Structure 1
Amino acid sequence: FVIDRKSGVISTKTALDREALCPYIETCEIDLDVKILPVDYFQIVKVVVYIVDINDNAPRFPQDRIPLDIPENTPQGTPIYQIPAAEDEDSGINGVQTYRLRSINSDSNIDKFGLRVTDQLDGSKDVRLELNEALDREDESHYVIEVIAVDGGSPEKSASVIIDITVTDYNDNNPKFVNSSYDVSIYENLPAGHPILSVEARDPDLGLNGQVLYSFAAHTEKEHGDVFGIRNETGEIYVKGEVDYEKASLYRLTAKASDRGPNSLPAFAKILVRVLDVNDEAPVILVNALTDNGQAQVAEHSQVNTFVAYVSVTDGDSGPSGDFDCAIDSSLFKLEERSESDYKILAAVEFDREVSAEYQVAMSCTDHGSPPMSTTRRIPVQITDINDNPPKMSANNFVVAFKENNSLNAVIIQINATDADEGKNAALKFSIESTTEGSSDTVHINPVTGVVTAQVVFDYEKENLFRYLITVTDLGEIPFIATASMTLTVQDINDEWPRFSQMVYSFEVPENQDPNTQVGVVNATDDDSYPYDQVRYSIVPGAAYADRFEVDTFTGALITTRALDREERSSYQFQIVASNSGFSHIQTVVNVSVSVKDENDHAPVITFPTPLNHTVQMPHKVWSGYQVTRILATDPDDGPNSVLTYTISNGNDLGTFRIDKKTGAIEVNDPDELRDHQTFKMVVVVHDNGDPVRSRIADINVYVNKTLGALGASVGNGILEGNNLIILVGVICGFFFIIFVIITAVMCVRAHRRHLAKKHKYNCRLQESNKHLPNGDPKRFSDLSTNSESPMHQEYAVDNGHLGRKTKDKVKKEVTFSLDKDDPGWPMQAEPKVIEVSFLFTYTRTLCT
């Protein structure tokens, strides 16, 4: 067992097994001595723990199978065999209660046998197998029966043993004890081997059948075999172990006698051994002060005969050895006998604790044994105090300086007080009350320790002087009281935090302004007095893009550090801190939001058409409102600056098309103006609604192809979109190849012209003629490969000089190539299978004459 040292709760340390602790004992009890400490409260408490049995063990036979020979002439009703009793470690009702018989090899055999169960003096059961019907070996020579032992638990548990019976002719005389029971008395503490009794059994048979062997019954051997033994041949019972009257004063033994013949039927005799007491136990003195701490005590100045302690004396011996006389050795106390074993210790004088706080009383008890045994116990007696001294505080007036802005329950001061008494008479209780009007409950004093703590947050600016009355009372039955005053002066600290004039600041600033542009001003005030009211401003570091701004440390003016671009970021959020100079921990943070106002600083961006993707195709037979394509444009500005308007500024003189001003969708307005292989070259203007207005222009070519059905037309997509890009790449490659051929041809023609000029003696200088080329650039011919103005046909004229007559000869070159529809990059689903693209190149040769 273990005991909690504080609560006194006793609990088990390990699982308890009653059968291991108290085998075969009806009542299982364990005696514990509980010691109470400290010494001032020392006491021994006797605790008896009763272990209650549960049915956790099944009965158990010593053997699983017993061979048994029975003479066939065994008379009916004869107990033919004593079956070894089943053992059950449980006790009481959970032990073995009944035995049953069951046949194994034949249902009819059960009638030939029966069980005789007899309760023995030692609590065991004598179980014998009886013959109910006569046996006939010639009729049946072998029987197998089962004996079942059942306990009384719930649920019940059982065990069985098989009796294997063989019918034979056997010895017909059994041993018989001269006396069926014996009664003997012995003294405790006999030495081992000391004989106590001889039992005798006789057998009239001769030879081995008449030789008797003695032993204890199995139950006796198990329970008491460690204390007593029996000699096999003589039947002498002797002391084998310790015989202690205080442990057991009575033993019930069962002796067994059997002959050496075959199938011997044993006889049994009961022996009652009484143990006589000898004086081997000294008196035991138990003191009970009937106090909380177990300490004997008496209050000072108590009257004579005041109760001090109760004493109980016991002696484990019996008879005169258990009788005793007791006395004390002090004249300051007297011993009063209440009964044979109970005494009271009383005060014989009036005690004064200031003279002595404790006395020792020796109590001695001597028994009447021979030789006598005695015990002496010293009993300390405390003289308890009465309240005869008032408390005293260390000062009559306590003056305390305490800083404002304190935390709740902060310690202000500890009041020290003493009391010359002890115990509860010296235990002090503190209390405090305010004598300043309107300042109640501002402080609290711990009633036990005298620690004064703040119950409010003191504010120097509101009130800075408080007065209190402190009272100290002891806890005596008639208490004494002492008082003192306390003056509390509150000291000022920087306890006021800056306060912004607004919870949140929101500013606006136009984009593209120069650095150091003022965005706004934040303002915070501090209610403290100088120097605690000086406010300093700063931007909390770490916010995204906070480096775009600065705040004036003294004025709170917020300025930009660089030009802001709304299209890069339209708003900024950060925090500004207002703090006291030199007190960085006293600060207030406010959220600031700066919105960047948009300016119309971006022109629209046209994503379709583009210089490389500005031609769409459409069928020539469509209806009015048929959507040909859609102009795609964006504007990164905001609001009206990003609202776009679409118009056709050139190339739509006949009003063949119209454009949606809001969406940019180009639709057919007059389908009658459409002709096959006709190209409409239009200029589209996209402008925003800002101030000033910004715009972009783009060229869009619409090519009418009668081979396209309405579903094959380009609707809102350029020729570079989707798989058309593959076709166009092929077209461009072919186009550049043709340009290369044409340039080569031109160079050959020019070389041939120079040859003709020499032949006809013309003095036309090539450098002079180059000055009159269009745009003055002889590379104009190469522009055919990149000119977006005429993807299909283009005509150029060359003025070969300004001298003499000008003659213009037009030379045309036309190149045609086809793209097969079966090409995997071909995107169109409509006819024709072959598209012909023609490039016509025309130039004029002017000769100098």
Structure 2
Amino acid sequence: MFLTLWLALFLPPCLAVHLTYYVEERKHVGTYIGDIAADKQLLDGISLLDNDLVTFSLLRMSKFSIVSLFNVSKTGKLYTSQNIDAESLCKYNTECSRILHVAVHKDETFVDVLKIKVFIQDINDNTPEFPVRQVNLTFSEGDRKGMSHSLPNAIDKDVGIENSQISYEFQKRLDTPFTLSVSKRVDGTAKLEIVLAVELDREVKDSYSLQVIAKDGGFPPKQSTLNVKITVTDVNDNPPVFLKNEYHVFIENTNLRNKPVIILSAKDLDIHENGQVLYYFSSQTSEATRSYFKLNKHTGEIFQREKLPSGHKELFQLYVEAKDGGNPPLTHLAMVLINITNQQNNAPIIDVNFVSGLRENTLSISENIKVGAFIAFVKVTDNDIGPNGRVNCDLQHDHFQLQNLDFKEYKVTLKKPVDREIKDHYEISISCQDKGLPPLRTKRKFSVQITDVNDVKPRFTKENFRFLVYENEKSNFPVGFINATDEDLGDGGQLTFFFLQNKNRILPFQITDTGFILTSQPLDREQQEIYKFEVFVRDNGRPSLNSTSNVIVEVVDENDNAPYFTFPSINPFSLDIHYHPQSKNDITVLKASDRDSPRNAFLKYEITGGNDKQLFLINPYTGMLSFSRAVYQNDAGSYDLKAVVKDSGTPVLSATTTLSLTLSVSNKTSLSAQSRKSGNYIPLYLVAVITFAAMIVLVVILVSMIACIIRYKNGRRVQRATPIDQSNPERSEIYHLVSQSNNLVSASRSTNDTSGRCTPTIESRSLYNSADTNSLKIATIARRLPAPSQIEGDGSNSTLNIPY
């Protein structure tokens, strides 16, 4: 309400022009002219929230409207809508302008109607042109100094004062006895003459060739040239002369075709052909004027062609040129002003413009519109003269009224509140009557439709929507449906969905107006697995209401990426291996990767070729390549192992690589598996172990003997001997083997016949690896052993092999 009152006070009705703009002709369609809202300062003092409620539109004022030349945007910016040609719109050497009526709207009402004057600035787009390229003149050798002959004027179609002003120059040669004279005639054009400066002598020279240059006042100027050929002889030297330079005529618009409006007469003192005068309309007489009047070139009579239409202009300017029959002809120009007195009485014409029209004669307003709202603009046209053109208008209605704005301009406003539930439409009739005798009346009827107000926001059925979609699906694949509801009717209940996107982020999805989310391109889970964004829904009501909801789209992985080896990174890969008895079984670790999700990227390794001797083994889960058995000297050589890694997807994808292994074996290694089984073969490391164990046993025996002697001396009475159980000649022995990742690191032995004796438990300390105890594995092996004298046993039971 504050905005409406403020604009109403700021823009009172006025006959004066509110704003003036300038635009050059022939500008491109859509050329910006000015910002009406900013230049008129309409939005100063209005909050930013109310700025969008103020809109502008260009009004059409009847069939003579020139609205089609211009266009006004809703925000008040004025543009051209056509390629404007000043020459076709305006007269020569006159101010070229047009008046526009621009309506200012607020919501569904007119706030005011502004008068905008647009000056069309002429550009220098036409070159002055002579009607002919060459003129032939004759001078008598008996002519005195100052004798002159007329030349045809150049015509410049531009209408601007500077661009249409033509100056003339004479390209004078040293031997030319002529000068160029330029003077103004009654119509503002130049009278161009060649003047004799020196007496002529035909016997010396009988012809001259000259050039006259016509140059306009534009920047840069344009020019053309007239070739003048002068023949020295006797010529016609008296032009025709009108009795007056200007004639005024008053006529009625009665269309009497047989009665001349005026008879013009020009006198010429010459005789014969040089004294015969013909009459023509000058080039300065517009084509529109010629369409209503005709000229008899022999008698000088001007006739009215046809009756002028109602509302046409009342003053016509005709320029008549009298031309004699000489060679070259001499001319004289007169201006005829014809005033039309209109005695007819025509009924007024009513034009109504709506803020929001449903159809040609139907206006729609909302039920919450304020009393006093400006809902329609009325323009009355009656171009009759006197009382016949004075008009009074009236509107009789309970809810609407007609208020005067300007001369023959009115506004329709709301007088009482409307309620759509009580009545949803009204019929309005505007009556206008002139003061002629008899008075003529015109009625214009239209309907007012009452509409509901959009007051309910759309609502999503969920606060968050979550969808799953497989990667690699083609574009336009359905992802899910966003559901929202709106209880309003009509446009207020019609919903449109959008994505709220960041300018720096482009979503690979699209959403239809009905809420279906589709892919706009195939998705790649390896690039992005989860998309989070907001969906914006708005209704089509005015003002539009909206809501937002969160959407999460999870991209489901497909097995679309084959695994690949990261080590070795080249194929084939060469590796030299030197084996000696103390070597470990592990050779190297094959590594591979897969860009798919863990479900499809669970990798397994295997050897597919080159392992005929079954010498190598690969851990299917870790990729560890190791020896699968003992290595012998006859295993030395080259091996091309074919390794493959496979994922766990469907279908299974794989990658292969080739390991070119060169195996060299130390001489300390067994020649073959057969020689290792022979009893004559004792490995060196076993000899060292036995030697070391024997030394430990010897030390233990010595320590035990010393302890026994001391005990025997100090405690003979407490010394007791435990008899040996002869019933069980065999003794049980338990070996505790402690291993770490299949490598034997310690062994211990205990026997059941040492109880109560001074013989301690014998432990082997060879090849102990101080590793993390958490990774140790303990295995217990039980067996029956013979008498102690047979402790060495055979090699297969007593020898500890340390694998690679």
TM score, norm. by length of structure 2:
0.49
Q: TM-score, normalised by structure 1?
A: 0.47
